Chains A and B, each alone.
Chain A
Amino acid sequence: MPSTNSPPAISLDALRSGDPQALAALFEAYADRIYRLALSLLRDPSAAEDIVQETFVSAMTHLDRFEGRSSLGTWLYRVGYNASLDWLRRRRDEPLPPDEPGDESEAVPLPRSLVEWRLTPESRQAEGEMAAELDRAIGELSESLRLVFLLRDVDELSTQETAEALGLTEGAVKVRLHRARLALREKLSDYFTERTPQEGEAA
């Protein structure tokens, strides 16, 4: 798996002058990240690819609007996020679901499951099943929790970068991340505590 941490610095001047290598480097560093962001919102792989295309075209044609207050990467996330929201608005007759209520409140439900997980190397046999379970659990999160979790914990953006990309305060990012982690833990608990080794599984 390619490391997606700390993408290389890409020269803005090179991009502005139309340097094809700079464009390729930018695509290499961010296309998958924008794809994941779009896929997480749209749930449609082919539409997510269109969003990648739209994001890069829009970013490259509006490079003059990029003011350098955030990093180029954070800005791309933001363009991709807005493109995804536009797609959803076009597709959905009903308005977007209401945002997380009580964003600034730190109240979170106390954990329900207090059992240790059985995550043993043998459970790797069921990797496909586990991936489906991870998908199911994150799919049940509200969009706003899912996105913050994706940017912070999967793509490993900082709180500040995530806030800039999604247009949130840093406080809201922290609260949502906390809720998302605890909610996912709870959703996965049943699966990982029930998965006791079955007879003949090692065969």
Chain B
Amino acid sequence: MNCQELIRYLSDYIDRSLSDELHAEAQQHLATCHNCHVVLDTTRQTIYLYRQSGRQAIPAEHRAELFARLQQSLAARKDSAS
């Protein structure tokens, strides 16, 4: 496996969705290619950073109000339907 192929398979490698054969070839390439190893490592860090900090949530002060609004809407619909 060369660098270009490694980069093409990089996401599948990270997601462990390569065949055993390709996975082994990728591992072999990574063991000897510093550049590709850096790309793998920094790509994993990219995913990790977004997973850690990217989970934005509804602001706590709006959450209960939003749920109450939802319940009201649904109740109003039920009333108008019956």
Contact = CB atoms under 8 A, between A and B. Distances in A.
B62 interface: yes
Interface stretch (A79-87, A88-96, A183-191): A183-191
Contacts of B54: 36, 134, 138, 150, 154
Contacts of B55: 1, 4, 32, 36, 154-155
A138 B55 CA distance: 13
A155 B38 CA distance: 25
Interface string B1-37: 0011001101110100000000000000000000100
Contacts of B10: 178, 181-182
| Interface SS majority for chain B | helix
Contacts of B63: 31
Contacts of B42: 113, 116-117, 185, 188-189, 192
Interface in A141-179: 149-150, 153-156, 174, 177-178
A138 B50 contact: yes
B73 A181 contact: no
Interface of B: 3-4, 7-8, 10-12, 14, 35, 38-39, 41-43, 45-47, 49-51, 53-59, 62-63, 66-67, 69-71, 73-74, 77-78
Given A119-B45, A154-B51, 19 more contacts: A23-B71, A31-B58, A39-B56, A45-B59, A49-B58, A53-B73, A57-B70, A61-B74, A110-B4, A130-B53, A134-B50, A134-B53, A154-B50, A156-B51, A181-B10, A182-B7, A185-B39, A185-B46, A188-B46
